[in-house]
Amino acid sequence: MSKRKPYVRKMGSTWWTKNNFHTMYIVRELSSLVILAYSVILLFGLNALRGGEAAFDAWFAGLTNPLAIVFHVITLLWTLYHATTWFSLAPKAANLWIGEKRVADNVITGSLYAVLGGVTVIGLLIAFVL
CA distances from 2 to 8, 9, 71 (A): 18, 21, 60
How many residues can be counted in the chain?
130
Q: Smallest gap, in angstroms, from Cβ of residue 106 to another protein?
A: 15
Query: CA–CA separation, 128 vs 130, rounded Å?
Result: 6
Q: Which of 107/124 has CB closer to another protein?
A: 124
Q: Which of 33/107 has CB closer to another protein?
A: 33
Q: Smallest gap, in angstroms, from Cβ of residue 1 to another protein?
A: 11
Q: Smallest gap, in angstroms, from Cβ of residue 110 to another protein?
A: 14
- Cβ-in-10-Å burial (0-12, 13-18, 19+) of 56 comes to middle
Q: Which of 68/107 has CB closer to another protein?
A: 68
